[in-house]
Structure 1
């Protein structure tokens, strides 16, 4: 198999990769047959998965737009994955052309492709770091520079905290990030929901245990607890389609079938 230029030389292309599977769900081209096979297996158990992933990306765009409209120009996207159409820098700069973005991911495939896309963008940086090693992440020069101006920073944890196990304590990790943020900063967070489809949740979690990024689905109460120290904006932590939809009539009768919850909060 010919190795694309955006894939590191030491990357094993015979194993599915969560970032590439996500790219496939979004309709992207940065994935391989092994990733598509995993996605098809997941969709055979949970046909709504592509819709869930696209709803998650739509939430990201709405949240970034919401914050940019309120003057935020600095965005720290942790667990950014492989940038596709509607990435953070593209969305924010529609409103704030001066917006700066630091993309962070632990996946070398996501990082390699991000660096290729961002190499000519002086207001974007790409960092390979792991949310689970939050001290190392927050000590990276690119992150320190973003925080050093004392201006509000929007931290994006979109579909990433569910890849942190209970033993690794995502609540503590988010708290460490919160404590480093200037006043007026924001947290944007979405998370796989345990309550929406309990009949399918365990099978889906088993599937992700086959990858280097196992999935832990959580209740809305557990996700809301990650916003400790932030003031949630309306409508609070809700199902993905319910968070400030562009058109209310697009939410549908069963938003809980989009098995994720999301919210945005500001640090006082």
Structure 2
């Protein structure tokens, strides 16, 4: 298990503008955020008060998908766009089901690197590693991940709340194609993604906020989301709102009965 370096250059954190991962942390009730993140978060709450519940519902989907995959015999996970650690983390869910599970996390946010020790504390029988890299740097991610994961065997690729921060022009679909292309048959792809389909007016206002802060936001409709799974077999219950994906595998989030989440989720299997 390798430990990432915590040199000063790597840990430079820009607090001059809000950051999506830190805002997500604030919505989840975390403490790894700054006033600029909270300020934009409160602006979003003025538009859609249910955002914190939506964030927790999205996180809960990741937990349920991980449990489901572990039940299918998946023992390797590559989680890109990890975000700030919020327990239980993916490896804790997976290794609870099977202690020998191997997990590689990837993120380009220095604040995630600062908390990588929390991500790297797993079972003695398993293995965990962390890659600091941009999601679009596929070669670097795969080269590093291959030290821990055997890509000749099934891997679960987790892209939770990542792709709506990658525009079509920046190669969102090419990114997924390149990653799934190296996966062995029997691998799975897990995606949650922001959409404007459920809350169009609120989504328009949030998009304006992101643009004003020079942040990329690319919510996609159902057809655009489905295109990420081209060539994969989407498992039941198919493409649904986050709260509707195998709810029996986890506990409901308080308040979720009063909202429709703002994203689509799905899990695809590589034939």
Q: Which TM-score applies when normalising by structure 1?
A: 0.89
2:5 is aligned with 1:12: no
Provide the C-alpha distance between the structure 2 equivalents of 1:248 and 1:89, rounded to a whole number of angstroms: 16
Q: Is the 8 A contact 1:6 1:109 kept in 2?
A: no
Q: What does the per-residue CA deviation read over 1:86-142, in whole Å, with 9 as the maximum and x for residues that have no partner?
A: 21011111101111111101212122222x32455571111111222323332x32x
Q: Which one of the candidate residues 182, 189, 192 is aligned to 1:190?
A: 192
Q: What does the per-residue CA deviation read over 1:4-32, in whole Å, with 9 as the maximum and x for residues that have no partner?
A: x9996532333222111111111112112
2:140 is aligned with 1:136: yes
Identify if the C-alpha distance between structure 1 residues 253 and 85 changes in structure 2 by more than 3 Å, giving closer, same or farther: closer
TM alignment of 1:244-259, pairs within 5 A: 244-246=246-248, 257-259=260-262
TM alignment of 1:1-268, pairs within 5 A: 10-114=12-116, 116-119=117-120, 121=122, 123-138=127-142, 140-141=143-144, 143-148=145-150, 150-211=152-213, 213-246=215-248, 257-268=260-271
Where 1:209 maps in the other structure, the secondary structure is helix
Identify if the C-alpha distance between structure 1 residues 74 and 179 changes in structure 2 by more than 3 Å, giving closer, same or farther: same
Q: Is the 8 A contact 1:74 1:146 kept in 2?
A: no
Q: How many residues align?
A: 260
Identify if the C-alpha distance between structure 1 residues 70 and 36 changes in structure 2 by more than 3 Å, giving closer, same or farther: same
CA RMSD of aligned residues (A): 2.4
Identify if the C-alpha distance between structure 1 residues 198 and 74 changes in structure 2 by more than 3 Å, giving closer, same or farther: same
Provide the C-alpha distance between the structure 1 equivalents of 2:94 and 2:7, rounded to a whole number of angstroms: 25
Farther-moved stretch of structure 1 (175-184 vs 164-173): 164-173
Looking at both structures, which has the greater relative contact order when contacts are Cα pairs under 8 Å and sequence separation is at least 6?
A: 2
Q: Is the 8 A contact 1:159 1:191 kept in 2?
A: yes
Provide the C-alpha distance between the structure 1 equivalents of 2:110 and 2:201, rounded to a whole number of angstroms: 34
Provide the C-alpha distance between the structure 2 equivalents of 1:253 and 1:14, rounded to a whole number of angstroms: 36
Q: Is the 8 A contact 1:15 1:34 kept in 2?
A: yes
Provide the C-alpha distance between the structure 1 equivalents of 2:191 and 2:201, rounded to a whole number of angstroms: 24
Q: Is the 8 A contact 1:6 1:113 kept in 2?
A: no
Which residue of structure 1 lines up, in the alignment, with residue 3 of structure 2?
A: none
